[in-house]
Amino acid sequence: MKDIRNISKEEARESIKKLREEINRHNYLYYVKNKPEISDSQYDKKFRQLQELEKEFPEFDSPVSPTRKVGAPPVDHLEKKEHLAPMLSLNSSEKEEDAEQFFKNVQKSTKETSFGFLLEPKLDGLSVEVVYKNGEFSYATTRGDGQTGEDISENVKTIGSLPLKLLSSSPPELLAIRGEILMSKSGFQEINKKRIEKGEEPFANARNAAAGTVRQLDSKKVADKPLDIFFYELIKTEGRHFDRQEEMLEQFRKWGLKTNNLKKICEKMPEIKKFYRNLKEKRDSLSYEIDGMVIKLNQRGLREKLGSRDRSPRWAFAWKFEPQKEVTRLTDILLQVGRTGMLTPVALLEPVDVGGVTVSRATLHNEEEVKKKDVRPGDKVRIVRAGDVIPEIAERIKETGKKRGNPFKMPGKCPVCETPVVREGAYVVCPAGLSCRAQLKGRLQHFVSRDAMNIMNLGEKIIEQMIEEEMIRSIPDLYRLEPSDLEKLEGFGKKSSEKLYKAIQDSKEPEFERFLYALGIRHVGKHIARLLAKKYRNLEKIAGADKEELAGIREIGPEIAESISHFFDNEDNLKMIKQFEKAGLKIKYKKTQESDLLEGKTFVITGELEGYSREEIKEKIESLGGRATSSVSDNTDYLVVGKNPGSKLEDAKKRKVKRLDEKQFKELISK
């Protein structure tokens, strides 16, 4: 681009228009389709160019520019706003009989012999109305009492997957739609951890976390939160009509609005029951919370015939999942010292099955939580498990006439190393760092875990012994161990010692992103580690980056930036990195991309190949700018088929995904 100062107004207008269109498209590809076509740094470059141009030419300002997705100045309250049509609720129940009754009622009232239902998950988030005028985002409101909600436009605008402009050259004049804002399960846990660290009250569940976040007054604080939005209903429209729900969702998708892909059209009750069971089985594996299944008439004309009750339509029903709650007895409260030194009270429970999983422990977060719940050894408690979230104690069940145990008290010393503890907000922390055995153990366990250095056969018990026997005092010490040292471990013979020795030595050339994750930097999970490894070519570059620079990376907020910066400012950590080098650790940095031949293309591999191992072909694809994923979806461009292919081949045929044998793949990349 030309120097911004020499650019004419006309040129600026054109460039701004073009950049906005490009960025909107890349946002869509990244957040909605999950299939980016350009690298993050290419994206950041475009974003900055647009920001600069908009600053220089404020006359071309637009409330729907993608630069507005980073938040606006804070407000002092949320304005009330009436909905364009009432936002109804759903009639719901957990009982199969009630679902059957709903089916019969629809059958009776429609008097039709054949009608389809659209089944989809009941998303457990926060319901919102979003209004687009002539294809541009106009405002968003909470559901409120169904008639009037609160204006949360600025906050909703920051959600990555929400388009500020519909992808269409002839959008409807008015489109008011209903969707659900969700926070991912992992995002929810992350946020709660941070809240507790700061001495704030943790959110009870992901839905509350999403609701709390979206009703904030400062939209900049919303911008870095893991929120997502799915659309599922029409509230009001002008200039567009839909006969069937299915068709409407398809149009939503074409406009760039995210819809849920776990849906099915069914006609009869047995199929409906089957889908309900399937959904229930999938529940734990989803990255967001669902709490049931919604059954809706597919034909929108029939819906009008059925109409609504006072607050809920007759054409839809929410068949909820039973809450995953059970009652058991608390036997003791233990203190766990985590890898960051935090002392967390943990409730030991008489084992109980909650929704198919045996629960024998529940986290109590901190002292405040224990006090608030007032649980003591011997108490009867109700346990809840929402999705795959760690089980929690919902409440104590009072028992009359029973003598209770002593109330819980936080100790003044670390239960492991006896160092006097310190208070950090609502937390009590052992300040001894890696000289506390519990912290060293936690850090080591994380270091060797599957997604980190992936050192097999190095379980908790062995790590404990190594520390106990003072075989290791720091993480890099691991690499100094000889087979003869390992033989001293309980249950270890010559063979097993050599095996473990080899596993440790074999981990000496970790991929950059794995090593970054393995370091255990606070707030740096797998995803952030990957982002950092993509952005920075080596460790020195990250260590040298300042907070502002880090916070400028997409998806890295000020808190994460602060934590990374803090880690690399710490002398002990720098010493540890040096020790790793001394011990012979060589980080494998990704080769810089060879070309962009496969840019934007997604590959899946099945069967055995002759010329490549799985890792090698993945590396090859990535070095040419492509992506290699593990399962076939609508986003897959090519399936590379080797000998003895698996079920992916069938998936690819069904979805009409192009298939390449090894020879054809080689031809493709030699172009």
Sign for the CA dihedral angle at 293, 297, 299, 305 comes to negative
Beta carbon of residue 581, minimum distance to ligand IVH (angstroms, whole number): 52
Q: Give the residue, chosen from 39, 49, 51, 89, that forms a contact with ligand IVH under the rule CB under 6 A.
A: 89
Beta carbon of residue 232, minimum distance to ligand IVH (angstroms, whole number): 4
> What does DSSP assign to residue 408?
P
Beta carbon of residue 185, minimum distance to ligand IVH (angstroms, whole number): 16
Is 160 a residue that touches ligand IVH (CB under 6 A)? no
Beta carbon of residue 631, minimum distance to ligand IVH (angstroms, whole number): 24
Beta carbon of residue 157, minimum distance to ligand IVH (angstroms, whole number): 20
Instruction: State whether residue 133 is helix, strand or coil.
Output: strand
Which tokens go with 586? 């060589």
Return the number of the residue (123 or 272) whose C-beta is nearest ligand IVH.
123
Is 318 a residue that touches ligand IVH (CB under 6 A)? yes
Between CA 496 and CA 516 the distance in angstroms is: 29
**Is 5 exposed, middle or buried (CB count within 10 Å of its CB: 0-12, 13-18, 19+)?**
exposed
447: nearest Cα among 488, 485, 408, 475: 475
Is 294 a residue that touches ligand IVH (CB under 6 A)? yes
Which residue is catalytic, options 69, 122, 263, 620?
A: 122
Which tokens go with 581? 């080098």
Return the number of the residue (123 or 333) whose C-beta is nearest ligand IVH.
123
Is 262 a residue that touches ligand IVH (CB under 6 A)? no
Residue 461: phi and psi, rounded to 5, are -65, -40
Chain centroid to CA 415: how far? 34
Whether 122 sits among the annotated catalytic residues: the reply is yes
Is 127 a residue that touches ligand IVH (CB under 6 A)? yes
Tally DSSP H helices, then E strands, for the chain. 24, 22
Is 88 a residue that touches ligand IVH (CB under 6 A)? yes
Return the number of the residue (89 or 635) whose C-beta is nearest ligand IVH.
89
Q: Which amino acid makes up residue 191?
A: I
Question: What residues contact 216, with CB distance under 8 A and at least 6 apart?
Answer: 155, 222
Return the number of the residue (315 or 427) whose C-beta is nearest ligand IVH.
315
Q: Give the residue, chosen from 187, 313, 625, 642, that forms a contact with ligand IVH under the rule CB under 6 A.
A: 313
Is 258 a residue that touches ligand IVH (CB under 6 A)? no
CA atoms within 13 A on the CB side of 487: 7
Residue given tokens 């974003």 in the structure block: 47
CB 571 within 8 A of CB 468: no
Return the number of the residue (318 or 335) whose C-beta is nearest ligand IVH.
318
Is 120 a residue that touches ligand IVH (CB under 6 A)? yes
Instruction: Give the nearest residue (CB) to ligand IVH.
Output: 127
Pick the stretch among 119-127, 159-167, 368-376, 580-588 that binds ligand IVH (CB under 6 A).
119-127
- Beta strands (DSSP E) in 42-166 are 80-82, 92-93, 117-123, 126-133, 136-142, 148-150
Between CA 232 and CA 122 the distance in angstroms is: 10
Is 513 a residue that touches ligand IVH (CB under 6 A)? no
Question: What residues contact 97, with CB distance under 8 A and at least 6 apart?
Answer: none
Between CA 279 and CA 291 the distance in angstroms is: 10
Beta carbon of residue 177, minimum distance to ligand IVH (angstroms, whole number): 11
Is 180 a residue that touches ligand IVH (CB under 6 A)? yes
Beta carbon of residue 562, minimum distance to ligand IVH (angstroms, whole number): 35
Which tokens go with 414? 């670390």
Return the number of the residue (129 or 511) whose C-beta is nearest ligand IVH.
129
Pick the stretch among 82-90, 211-219, 330-338, 651-659 that binds ligand IVH (CB under 6 A).
82-90
**Is 99 exposed, middle or buried (CB count within 10 Å of its CB: 0-12, 13-18, 19+)?**
buried
Indicate the helix (H) or strand (E) that contains 27. Answer: helix 9-27
Pick the stretch among 45-53, 311-319, 536-544, 627-635 that binds ligand IVH (CB under 6 A).
311-319
Return the number of the residue (124 or 197) whose C-beta is nearest ligand IVH.
124
Is 442 a residue that touches ligand IVH (CB under 6 A)? no
Pick the stretch among 86-94, 129-137, 245-253, 642-650 that binds ligand IVH (CB under 6 A).
86-94
Pick the stretch among 121-129, 532-540, 554-562, 612-620 that binds ligand IVH (CB under 6 A).
121-129
Distances from the Cα of 432 to the Cαs of 339, 415, 417, 438, 564, in angstroms?
11, 12, 8, 10, 20
Query: Which 3-state string (H, E, C) describes 363-391?
Result: ECCCHHHHHHHCCCCCCEEEEECCCCCCC
Beta carbon of residue 290, minimum distance to ligand IVH (angstroms, whole number): 8
Is 229 a residue that touches ligand IVH (CB under 6 A)? no
Beta carbon of residue 188, minimum distance to ligand IVH (angstroms, whole number): 17
Q: Which residues are annotated as catalytic?
A: 122
Enumerate binding residues for ligand IVH (CB under 6 A): 88-90, 120, 122-123, 127, 180, 232-233, 294, 313, 316, 318
